[in-house]
Structure 1
Amino acid sequence: MVDKFPGEGESSSFVDSAKPEIVEDDSSSSSDSNGKRNNKKKDFPVPTRNRLNHCRSWKEKPVHTLLGGDAPADLLLWRNKKKSACTLGVATVVWALFEMIEYHLLSLLCHILILVLGVHFLWSNTLNFIYKCPQFPQVVLDEETAVELASVIRLEINNGLEVLREIASGKDLKKFLSVIAGLWIVSIAGSCCSFLTLVYTCFVLLHTVPFLYEKHKEKADAILEKAEAELKKQCEGLQEKVLSRVPSRASKDKKIA
């Protein structure tokens, strides 16, 4: 007979009983790892339709959204006809004063100051003896307003310079050629009329073109698609004929090497 050491059977039975527990631990660890992988997959969800809608073409977006929304878009799209008509009327009166009547800006500023000083003098010296009028309102420019206005102007100038730098880099040939064509058209228009007339023309176009585009959107989109296809064809032809012959930096580096 083989003598068994004390506790030897107990240890073997303990090992046998511990094996399924180890297997259970492995399954639980594998399930935990699978759960972690699933959680990792959940951290990167598939883009939904709502997110894809942000990448839509500008033609699919409403005109009100393209104009920035809020009050300026309502003004340009004639949501409130009285405000839009008053704004366009004031712009027309200013343009007529300076262009048709040949009124000068310095004369206008002096006459406005004369009117304000005269009203203030009558308000504070003559009317107070007859009627108990309230004190003439004091107009003061707030420091916070001036700082916010300066910061907004600085931000817009920096954004404009960044856009010009990106256009001049030549990454987007279509955008570069469209900007050059636009500047050339503006230069021709500037040689034919004054700066104020050009600004007034752009102001009138802003008050008419978006409104007409929203009203006849389907026909305008069809015309724009044809023009965009023709422009794309011309850009591709120009790139094949002219820009492909221009040596790039990589080719120059290869020749030097």
Structure 2
Amino acid sequence: MVEHAEDSGSAAESLMDKITEKLHGHDSSSSDSDNEKEKEKEKSSPSAIKSVANRVNRLFGREKPVHQVFGGGKPADMFLWRNKKNTGTALGGATLIWILFELLDYHLLTLICHGLILSLAILFVWSNATTFIHKSPPRIPEVSIPEEPVIEFAAAVRFEINRAFAVLRDAATGRDLKKFLAVIAGLWVLSVVGAWCNFLTLFYIAFVLLHTVPAVYEKYEDQVDAFAEKAMIEIKKQYAVFDAKVLSKIPRGPLKDKKRV
């Protein structure tokens, strides 16, 4: 009798264990299905669709923010007007230099000499006047150019020049007709702009554009990207027509890779 009661108790316990396992399995499966549904909703939400579209359709296939494209840090802050005081000072100084050299026909050597004369005269008079007004003489700091920034700047300039030489070499090899036409068009536009103004004015225009265009683009990023996408589609269509009517009819010899002995 006792054994029968124990068997019935163990059977009841095993039955309860099976029921609880089924309930837990059902809960876990339902929770998994709920999580999958939530993930699908998140993927199909307008914000997710917009983020995917923005990531794909950015100008020049850009995936990083504009601030990171410019390397981040203080230079990017100046280009994007994150520090308005520094950016305004840089633009004001560049405008003053352009007015002096371009509009007033000032010369660089003359400006440097006049600036040094004025500075030395003020410091000399101030240093000698301290004995009569009983004040401390001016502290003239020791000015020295650090080595590391100069090396970094020279390395950056060297890298950009070598990259430009590589682009010119690739265009001259004749393997990529599209790149050749793009380089020729860019050089022609640069020559036309150079005929309109001198190097100082061209450098000043580039400096102003570098401190204004990125900030405007970051503000109206979505509108500019949408317009640029439509423009690129139209340019590709026109290039395909030009290629079919003109470029494809130009006779070109077969390019064969020479085997090295």
TM-score normalised over the length of structure 2: 0.63
The match for 1:246 among 246, 251, 258 is 251
Aligned CA distance change for structure 1 residues 144 and 92 (closer, same or farther; 3 Å): closer
Aligned CA distance change for structure 1 residues 234 and 102 (closer, same or farther; 3 Å): same
- In structure 2, the residue matched to 1:191 is 195
Distance (Å, rounded) in 1 between the aligned partners of 2:178 and 2:153 = 34
1:71-117 CA deviation, whole Å, 9 max, x = no partner? 22211111112221111111111111112222222211221232343
Matched AA of 2:212: T
Classify the secondary structure of the residue corresponding to 1:138: coil
- In structure 2, the residue matched to 1:65 is 68
Aligned CA distance change for structure 1 residues 224 and 124 (closer, same or farther; 3 Å): same
CA contact (8 A) 1:174 1:232 kept: no
- In structure 2, the residue matched to 1:221 is 225
Distance (Å, rounded) in 2 between the aligned partners of 1:216 and 1:163 = 31
Larger Rg: 1
Distance (Å, rounded) in 2 between the aligned partners of 1:136 and 1:61 = 45
- In structure 2, the residue matched to 1:78 is 81
Matched AA of 1:179: V
CA contact (8 A) 2:168 2:183 kept: no
Aligned CA distance change for structure 1 residues 172 and 120 (closer, same or farther; 3 Å): farther
- In structure 2, the residue matched to 1:14 is none
CA contact (8 A) 1:123 1:136 kept: no
1:234-256 CA deviation, whole Å, 9 max, x = no partner? 333333322552222449x9xxx
Matched AA of 1:75: M
Number of corresponding residues: 199
Report the Cα offset of residue 133 of structure 1: 3.0
- In structure 2, the residue matched to 1:133 is 137
Distance (Å, rounded) in 2 between the aligned partners of 1:110 and 1:175 = 47
The match for 1:178 among 151, 176, 182 is 182
Aligned CA distance change for structure 1 residues 66 and 171 (closer, same or farther; 3 Å): farther
Structure 1 segment 46-57 matched on structure 2, within 5 A? none
Aligned CA distance change for structure 1 residues 126 and 159 (closer, same or farther; 3 Å): farther
1:188-219 CA deviation, whole Å, 9 max, x = no partner? 22212222222211222222221221211222
CA contact (8 A) 1:124 1:136 kept: no
Report the Cα offset of residue 64 of structure 1: 1.7
1:21-68 CA deviation, whole Å, 9 max, x = no partner? xxxxxxxxxxxxxxxxxxxxxxxxxxxxxxxx89x8634432222223
Report the Cα offset of residue 124 of structure 1: 5.5
Distance (Å, rounded) in 2 between the aligned partners of 1:146 and 1:202 = 22
Aligned CA distance change for structure 1 residues 165 and 128 (closer, same or farther; 3 Å): farther
CA contact (8 A) 1:174 1:235 kept: no
Gaps of 5+ in 2: 1-54
Aligned CA distance change for structure 1 residues 121 and 156 (closer, same or farther; 3 Å): farther
Aligned CA distance change for structure 1 residues 148 and 72 (closer, same or farther; 3 Å): closer
CA contact (8 A) 1:173 1:235 kept: no
Report the Cα offset of residue 134 of structure 1: 6.1
Classify the secondary structure of the residue corresponding to 2:61: coil
Gaps of 5+ in 1: 1-52
The match for 2:158 among 145, 154, 162 is 154
For the pair 1:163 / 2:151, whether they are aligned, the reply is no
